[in-house]
Structure 1
Amino acid sequence: MILPALAFFCVGLHVGQGDTRGPESLPRPSISAWPSWMVPVNSEVTLQCSAPTGEVNFVLRKGRNSVKSSASPDSPEGNFPSVKFPFPDLTHSDAGEYTCEYYRRMSPSIRSPSSDVLLLVVTGYLAKPSLQAHHRGLVTAGENVTLHCQKPRYITDSHVFALLKKGTPTPIQLHSQRGKETDFSLQSVTVSDTGNYSCVFYQPHPPFWASGPSDHIEVWVTDETESDERAGTLGTTEIIPIVTCASLFLLAAFLLAAFLFIYKSTCCGAARNRKTKRYHSSKNPEVVTDASPAMMSSFPALDEGSQESRAEEPQGVMYAELNARALSEGPSNQMAQSLETCVYSTLKT
């Protein structure tokens, strides 16, 4: 009696263990959004689900509701099958929490666990915040930059603040704040941190409304070596115009002085030549060769006393005396005078 009873107990135990074994478990899928999980209204986004096994059908869920399903295409060996769910022309009602799961085509009753939750945020429903920088102007690499984001005053609900950078699809920082403002800090910035920044805020709970992006702020980060080279370049470009202007001024002054010297020499030389041509120099007193007969009759001969006194005068000075009587007699008398009357002057050489 004991042996049949023991055999029956072992058989029952084996059957019980078989009944408690659950269905075959499947790995969790993954979900992603392209180009980003935060996108503006009226744009397009694509949600992609992937599984580590082949020949499966995917189901996309928003919350607990199934919104889309699709069979994965056959994938080459080594690649996980995936399927894309496009959302063209987004509306604010498309915002929400999305997950995906899959099941094998031969075993539709066995489903995988849900993927991680992906929050899709559609911006542009609430008024945009303001963004300000505590540091203005150029920023040297290694410094810290603080950007201050603030909601409009009439919005008092709790929101999540997100810092965006143009060219980067996903937010670079997230802050959960109950207040109206928050500070984003960029620590030890590098040249790669240069760019245009903006911020948004959104609800972390349904209906997940989000603001439009703030006006952007440009952050310009320079390396110390680049700053030194730029300063050296600016110094050189400032010195060159000064040197050039000084050189041009000196050249103009030199040309002006040379022109005045040449002009003065030319004029004086011409005047001296004219005077030399008019007078003939000899040991005897000079005779005016180009004077008219009337002018010659108007000047009496110089006496010896006046010649001796003028001999003491400086060289190069010419003297002449007018014949007042001849001038008062008129032209007819002047023509009647003898042509022997000459005018003498002393030219000392």
Structure 2
Amino acid sequence: MPSTLAALLFLGLSLSQRTGTREHESFLRSPRVWAEKTLSKPVIWAQPSFMIPKGKLVTIWCQGSHEAAEYQLHFEGGLSASKRPKSPGTVNRVNFPIPTMTSQTAGQYRCFYRSGELWSQPSDPLDLVVTGLYDTPTLSVHPRPEVTSGEKVTFHCRLETATSTFFLLKEGSSSRPQRRYGNIQAEFPMGPVSTAHRGAYRCFGSYNKHAWSFPSEPVELRVQGDAGDTSFAPTEHTSSDHWDSCMLTTEAQFQEGPVLRDHNAQNLLRIGLVFLVLVALVWLLVEGWLHRKKPQERASRPSSQECRRFRAQRALEK
């Protein structure tokens, strides 16, 4: 039994080591790490939102690998802050608070992290916007705020201070904001609308993409659907430029990078192998105990021939 147990333990450790070696070799062959000498890019987002009223607190988060030893935040292409995780190996994110949002802190942010001597690729850009710098625009919807599914509507955003850029956002929606250009007014055509377009809308005026006006008063769009209306996705015309998509980096977009996924898979496989070895050890111990118990029971139980001889001897003595 000891030789069998030793063989099982050796097999489990050998498989674990072989698996770890294969994963390590695969990791080294990865073009991102081996050829480019960099790590997978981190994820960046802002809380409570990428749009922050002037003077309010905003926190920028950067999430990388559990092996990250240092994080750097870059603002408009230059180093802004550096931070080390409080518990390396267990925490894979850090935060960079901005106590007071101003036009000087609004702009484009990226973050990096370091593991050993290697630095990661830059995160996707996060465009942080400050609001409440200018007058308040007015928003209206034509032909009316209550329409039937299938109709077309147009939102009109107007700001008298010669704003050149306007943005329209739907409250509570993760869809990207629409952008239009105009002198003092911009139009946002939408439709044919469905019940998915229901909700409150606000617009902003902007002199640049990181400094917006106060938000307009909300305008509620009410869409009356019919029995055959199964549309769920909005069909409004949206800008497809890179800036709009990067602005909407949110916590819902967190995904573990390939390094984290490989690390977790390796740990799970090793735990499984250790569990199998422990099960085999318990089984061998139980089997050995049963084998030892049977001879003891046989030795303690007198044979039938001895019983008959004992009875006969007792009868003769009587």
Output the TM-score relative to the length of structure 2: 0.53
What is the one-letter code of the residue matched to 2:130?
V
Task: Tell me, in whole angstroms, the C-alpha distance in 2 between the residues paired with 1:71 and 1:212.
Answer: 36
**What is the CA RMSD across the aligned residues, in angstroms?**
2.9
Q: Which amino acid aligns with 1:92?
A: S
Q: Could you say what secondary structure the match of 1:92 adopts?
A: coil
* Equivalent residue number for residue 141 of structure 1: 149
Alignment of 1:83-232 (within 5 A): 83-104=94-115, 106-107=116-117, 110-152=118-160, 154-155=161-162, 158-159=164-165, 161-168=166-173, 172-177=176-181, 179-204=183-208, 208-225=210-227
How many angstroms does 1:36 deviate by?
2.0
> Does the 8 A contact of 1:194 with 1:221 survive in 2?
yes
Aligned to 1:62: 75
Which residue number corresponds to residue 298 of structure 1? none
CA 1:173–1:58: 2 relative to 1, 3 Å: same
Q: Secondary structure, in 3 states, of the residue corresponding to 1:192?
A: helix
Q: Which has the higher contact order (CA 8 A, sep 6+)?
A: 2
Task: Please give the residue correspondences for 1:1-349 in structure 2 after superposition, counting only pairs within 5 Å.
Answer: 24-52=37-65, 54-72=67-85, 73-74=87-88, 81-104=92-115, 106-107=116-117, 110-152=118-160, 154-155=161-162, 158-159=164-165, 161-168=166-173, 172-177=176-181, 179-204=183-208, 208-225=210-227
After superposition, the C-alpha distances for 1:202-224 in whole angstroms (9 at most, x for unaligned) are: 2336xx32211112211111223
Q: In the TM superposition, what is the alpha-carbon distance from 1:191 to its structure 2 partner?
A: 2.6
Query: Compared with structure 1, are the counterparts of its residues 173 and 184 closer, same or farther at alpha carbon in structure 2 (3 Å cutoff)?
Result: farther
Distance in 2 of aligned mates of 1:185 and 1:74: 50
**How far off its partner does 1:167 sit?**
2.8
Aligned length: 194
**Structure 2 unpaired stretches of 5+:** 1-33, 229-318
Letter in 1 for 2:195: V
2:63 touches 2:93 (CA, 8 Å); kept in 1? yes
Structure 1's 39 and 142: CA in aligned 2 closer, same or farther, altered over 3 A? farther
SS of aligned partner of 2:71: strand
Shift of 1:74: 4.2
Distance 1:190 1:35, change over 3 A: farther
C-alpha distance 195-26 of structure 1, shift in aligned 2 (>3 A): same
Structure 1 unaligned segments of length 5 or more: list them.
1-20, 227-349
**Higher radius of gyration, 1 or 2:** 1
CA contact (8 A) 2:169 2:178 kept: no
C-alpha displacement at 1:137, in angstroms?
4.4
The Cα of 1:68 is off from its aligned counterpart by 2.3
Contact 1:162 1:171 in 2 (8 A): no
The 3 A distance-change label for structure 1 pair 132 and 116 is same
State the SS of the aligned residue for 2:204.
Answer: strand
How far off is 1:183 after superposition?
A: 1.7
Asked if 1 retains the 8 angstrom alpha-carbon contact of 2:180 and 2:187, the reply is: no
- After TM superposition, the structure 1 stretch with the greater mean CA deviation from structure 2, 61-70 or 125-134, is 61-70
How far apart are 1:60 and its partner, in Å? Answer: 0.8
Identity %: 31
Alpha-carbon distance in 2 for matches of 1:178, 1:186 = 17
Give me the whole-angstrom Cα distance separating, in 2, the residues matched to 1:41 and 1:116. Answer: 24
Summarize the Cα distance change of 1:212–1:22 in structure 2 as closer, same or farther, 3 Å threshold: same
> What secondary structure does 2:196 align onto?
helix
- 1:176 to partner: Cα distance: 4.5
Residue matched to 1:238: none
Letter in 2 for 1:117: P
